[in-house]
Amino acid sequence: MSSETLTIEEFQEIGKALRFLLMVAWLLPLAGFAVEIFAGYWGHRRSKMASFLAVGCIFIGFACSLGALIHWGTLTRWGHKTVAESQHHEGKSEGEGQTGILDAGKLPVEFVALADKPTAHKDADNDDHHTTSGGGHKDAHHEGEHHDDHHGPGTPAFSGGFYLLGSFGDIEIGLDYYIDSLTLIMFTMVTLIATCIHIFAIGYMSDELVEDYVDHHAHTSDGKHVHRPGRFYRFFAFMSLFCFSMLGLVLAGNIFQVFVFWELVGICSYLLIGFYTERKSASTAANKAFIMNRVGDFGFLIGLMVIVTYLGTFRFADHEVNGAAQPGLFTMIRGADGHIDLDQTVDVETGNDVNVVLLKGVDGETLTNANGKNRTIPYWLLIVAGLGVFGGCVGKSAQFPLQTWLPDAMEGPTPVSALVHSATMVAAGVYLAGRFFPMFTTEVLLTIAYIGCITLFVAATIAVVATDIKRVLAYSTISQLGYMMLAIGIGGWGAGLFHLVTHAFFKSLMFLASGSVIIGCHHEQEMPRMGGLWRKMPITAFTMLVGVIAISGLAIPGISIFGEKIAFSGYHSKDEIVATALAFMQMNEQHFLLFLVPLITAGITAFYMFRLWFYTFAGEPRDAELHSHVHETPWVMTTPLIILAVFAAGCAIGGTHGPLWLGLLNSEPIGLATGLTGQLSGIATPSHDAVHAVHSTAGMYALIVAATGAFVAYLLYGAGVIDPGDIKQQFVSLHTFLVEKWRFDELYDAMFVRPVHIVASWCVGVDRYVFDGLIHRTARTTIDVSRWDRKFDEGIIDGLVNLVGNAVFSAGRSLRVVQTGSLRQYIMFIAVGVLVLFVLLFAVFPS
């Protein structure tokens, strides 16, 4: 296998090149932002310079990302080459030194032994039931076994640091990078979609290219429309800032850095949702989005706190701290075959009965603490950490119960909805769940699966009754994100991220198409006023149809051209999810809902998406006046649609044998290929083989359901055989319930918003009446005391003094009579006085 290996030097060379290319792609949009926001509008509001700059930055970013992907692919034979095994072991001991020598003075391009751990074939899952009370249990039997040929051993990830934010003893917090095939694919996907959307936005936002923009949705108090200068440049500045933040999130090499960019994409989302600052609804939606995300981030923070307390590092990959090797998070938690090393002896000090032993490296050596004992983290805290970080994902990916902000976020301009609120930022939650997968215990995974399951169903039901074209897509996004979460939760790591990428293409396509419709219809978003638009907007209509077919997962069964199924991307990815769910259900029968709900929802999905298409584009125009003004949008908007339509149709080409799937699988966490089993929960995830076995069955179920959904939609909205109004009449209360979005907003308002305001007013009351009241009372008492004091002074002390004074005075006055002015008399007084004194003296002191 010598041709299948890379030397460490070659490996590091690749790492340096990738680091450089991705850094360019990452930082260019930031530079773009700085210029766009400060240089403003180049003298007049009609300048398109900002948009050209933004497009240029993101397009170069795309070129770099694609270059990086190809560079990586060709040099590692798409991840099939691994670092030479013999050198690798040196690499762990001496390789550190080598790294240092090679990159003397620079940040070392370290390598991670995460993905290159030998994927051992196990005939039984007994390895996962391994329960030990210490390290060193994993003998040679894991090593030297042959690799799983199905997806190869995988090239290890490239990782290293940019700079440190701070270091406190052994705790280092900094900005790092972590590059594997998932990073590269995400970079390419994000930059490609962002480029298309930026170009589209030049057309979409062109009405901002005026000195005096009239906002028809914002009114002053006298009922007039708001007039303001156009803000074309600001839109592109924010978009550039968003791209920077999003790429930073993907590139992040530690979980803290993910959090940093997590918040930054959040604020970009805030700025873009609230782009029309004059509209109260827009700024409220922006606030809602940010605050609900912060609720999720509160969980994220708890996860971070647990991690820094027990694991002492945030980095994913192995690295060095103060000259000593420090394993990364993944290495510490997951052993060579992906299992978690448990210690079930009761810890006398902490009282925890199950602890996770932290590992030092692939060979199963454990970390020891200052007392020489194994370093551990209580198992329940590992669950807390996982749930906490997942809490962040729930917020960002608009999962139940924090899903309500995303539909409101549609207040932003449509390109924002396409980029931020469907393709990239909201998918970041799924990305993180994927990236952080090795840290999740099976209990956490099951939670993720159920959250995803609830979300995908709730959102899909609401999408059925929504009439605003963008809101349908928003609910559809939430529902699809639920699918991805579900997939990750049931161990379908590849399926979830596969769906992330395909969904990004077809959903951004559909959002842009809806944006095209909105522009074509002069800012009308209500589908009941549309209908029959395909004649006027053919390109929009057909590209949208591509997206609709893709998301519905339709395919033509039985026929294949060149060995390829005739199916769009969504078919492949959704198929994979359903297949994983079926395999999962077979292994864990009590969790059958995790298969049934997504299967049924696949039908609902097809229904509401075709409903949208038929409602909008097919049939007769329902509003003739509107229809007469409709026009196809200019090329600057349709070209991106066509490009995205190509990718929406074909990005998953080859399905589970295609490049996208295999590329993603290259980064799959260790142990998933053979399935993981929770040692305490008993939940098992299906192995690749198990999924593969049920693939065609699941695919058939999914296709039947989807086709049914699409057919019903055709009957109701396309052919008009049944009047949807009748059905609405039949289920009027259910319809209202769905239109009111399951009443989550009312519930949260009553549960959280109002109580917060009440507590806030209490706090103010406490300050005003308790503390200040106390102080004022003290002050008044003091004043009273001083008043008494004054009275005492004036009445008693002064009275006494006056008394004495008066007495002296009157004595003096009575003595006045003796003051005669006669000298003789005075001398006589003196003489008598002296005499008396002497007499007294002798009388008192006789001796």
Partner 1 sequence: MGPILLLTLIIFLPTIGAIALLAVPKDNDEYLRIGALGVTVVTFVLTLFLLGDFNTDDPAIQPVFEVIQVDGATEPPDLKLLANYDLSEGKVMRDGQEVQVQRGITIPWIRTWNIEYKLGYDGISVPLLLLTSFISVLAMMASWSIKKMVRGYLILFLLLETGMLGVFLALDFFLFYVFWEVMLLPMYFLIGIWGGPRKEYAAIKFFLYTLLGSVLMLIAMLMFYFGSAAHSDQTSTFDLLELAVIAQNGLFDQQMQMIAFVLLFIGFAIKVPTFPFHTWLPDAHVEAPTPISMILAGVLLKMGGYGILRIAFPLCPFGAHWAAYTLVVIGAFSIIYGAFAAMAQTDFKRLVAYSSVSHMGYVIVGMAVWKLSVDTNALHHWQLGINGAMFQMIAHGVSSAGMFFIVGVIYDRVHHRDLNQFGGLSKLMPWYSGLAAGIFFAGLGLPGMCGFIGEIFVTLSAWNYSPLLAIIVAAGVILTAGYILWTIQRVFLGPEYRGPHAEEITPMNGREFTVAAVLLAFAIILGVYPPIMFDLMGGSIELLTETLQQGLENATDATSTAGLPGN
Of 287 and 639, CB closest to partner 1: 287
Does 745 sit near partner 1 (CB under 8 A)? no
Q: Report in angstroms the alpha-carbon separations of 305 from 82, 300, 384, 537.
A: 35, 9, 10, 53
Select the residue interacting with partner 1 from 105, 144, 169, 323 (CB under 8 A): 169
- If we measure between CA atoms, which residue out of 360, 395, 387 comes closest to residue 442? 387
Select the residue interacting with partner 1 from 173, 418, 445, 530 (CB under 8 A): 173
The helix-helix angle for 8-39 and 181-204 (nearest 10°) equals 20
- What's the closest the beta carbon of residue 107 comes to partner 1, in angstroms? 15
Number of residues forming the site for partner 1 (CB under 8 A): 64
Q: Report in angstroms the alpha-carbon separations of 626 from 261, 630, 637.
A: 43, 7, 21
Does 348 sit near partner 1 (CB under 8 A)? no
Does 713 sit near partner 1 (CB under 8 A)? no
Of 168 and 562, CB closest to partner 1: 168
The encoded tokens of residue 160 equal 């290293």
Calculate the CA 256 to chain-centre distance.
Answer: 12
Select the residue interacting with partner 1 from 305, 596, 732, 804 (CB under 8 A): 305
Of 307 and 651, CB closest to partner 1: 307
The Cα–Cα gap between 416 and 348 comes to 54
Of 298 and 842, CB closest to partner 1: 298
Does 278 sit near partner 1 (CB under 8 A)? yes
Calculate the CA 471 to chain-centre distance.
Answer: 21
Q: Which of residues 192-251 bind partner 1 (CB under 8 A)?
A: 218-221, 226, 228
Q: Which of residues 308-327 bind partner 1 (CB under 8 A)?
A: 308-310, 312
Give the DSSP H/E element, type plus range, for residue 555. strand 555-561
Cis peptide before 659 (omega within 30 of 0): no
Do residues 255 and 308 touch, judged by C-beta distance below 8 A?
no
- What's the closest the beta carbon of residue 759 comes to partner 1, in angstroms? 5
Does 750 sit near partner 1 (CB under 8 A)? no
Q: Convert residues 369-398 into a mask of x (bound to partner 1 by CB under 8 A) and - (unbound).
A: xxx---xx----------------------
Q: Of the ranges 270-278, 559-567, 596-604, 646-654, which one interacts with partner 1 (CB under 8 A)?
A: 270-278
Task: Assign 169 to helix, strand or coil.
Answer: coil
Does 767 sit near partner 1 (CB under 8 A)? yes
Q: Of the ranges 296-304, 507-515, 626-634, 740-748, which one interacts with partner 1 (CB under 8 A)?
A: 296-304
Give the HSE-up count for residue 65: Cα atoms under 13 Å, Cβ half-sphere.
30
Calculate the CA 664 to chain-centre distance.
Answer: 20
Give the DSSP H/E element, type plus range, for residue 301. helix 280-310
Do residues 466 and 413 touch, judged by C-beta distance below 8 A?
no
Of 371 and 730, CB closest to partner 1: 371
Do residues 45 and 230 touch, judged by C-beta distance below 8 A?
yes
Q: Which of residues 769-788 bind partner 1 (CB under 8 A)?
A: 771-772, 775
Does 264 sit near partner 1 (CB under 8 A)? yes
The helix-helix angle for 425-435 and 379-396 (nearest 10°) equals 160
Does 595 sit near partner 1 (CB under 8 A)? no
Do residues 30 and 241 touch, judged by C-beta distance below 8 A?
yes
Does 763 sit near partner 1 (CB under 8 A)? yes
- Tell me which DSSP letter residue 366 carries: B
Do residues 438 and 329 touch, judged by C-beta distance below 8 A?
yes
Of 392 and 553, CB closest to partner 1: 392
Does 725 sit near partner 1 (CB under 8 A)? no
Residue 820's identity, in one-letter code, is T
- What's the closest the beta carbon of residue 295 comes to partner 1, in angstroms? 6
- Tell me which DSSP letter residue 715 carries: I
Do residues 468 and 525 touch, judged by C-beta distance below 8 A?
yes
Q: Of the ranges 147-155, 267-275, 709-717, 790-798, which one interacts with partner 1 (CB under 8 A)?
A: 267-275
Give the HSE-up count for residue 213: Cα atoms under 13 Å, Cβ half-sphere.
19
Select the residue interacting with partner 1 from 79, 91, 203, 274 (CB under 8 A): 274
The encoded tokens of residue 397 equal 């990916």
Q: Of the ranges 149-157, 159-167, 188-196, 454-462, which one interacts with partner 1 (CB under 8 A)?
A: 159-167
Select the residue interacting with partner 1 from 1, 31, 70, 171 (CB under 8 A): 171
Q: What are the phi and psi torsion angles at 365 (to 5°)? A: -65, 145
Does 42 sit near partner 1 (CB under 8 A)? no
Q: Of the ranges 89-97, 480-488, 562-570, 758-766, which one interacts with partner 1 (CB under 8 A)?
A: 758-766
Task: Assign 226 to helix, strand or coil.
Answer: strand
Q: Of the ranges 11-19, 163-171, 434-442, 500-508, which one interacts with partner 1 (CB under 8 A)?
A: 163-171
Binding site for partner 1 (CB under 8 A): 163-171, 173, 218-221, 226, 228, 259-261, 263-264, 267, 270, 274, 277-280, 283-284, 286-287, 290-291, 294-295, 297-298, 301-302, 304-306, 308-310, 312, 369-371, 375-376, 756-757, 759-764, 767, 771-772, 775
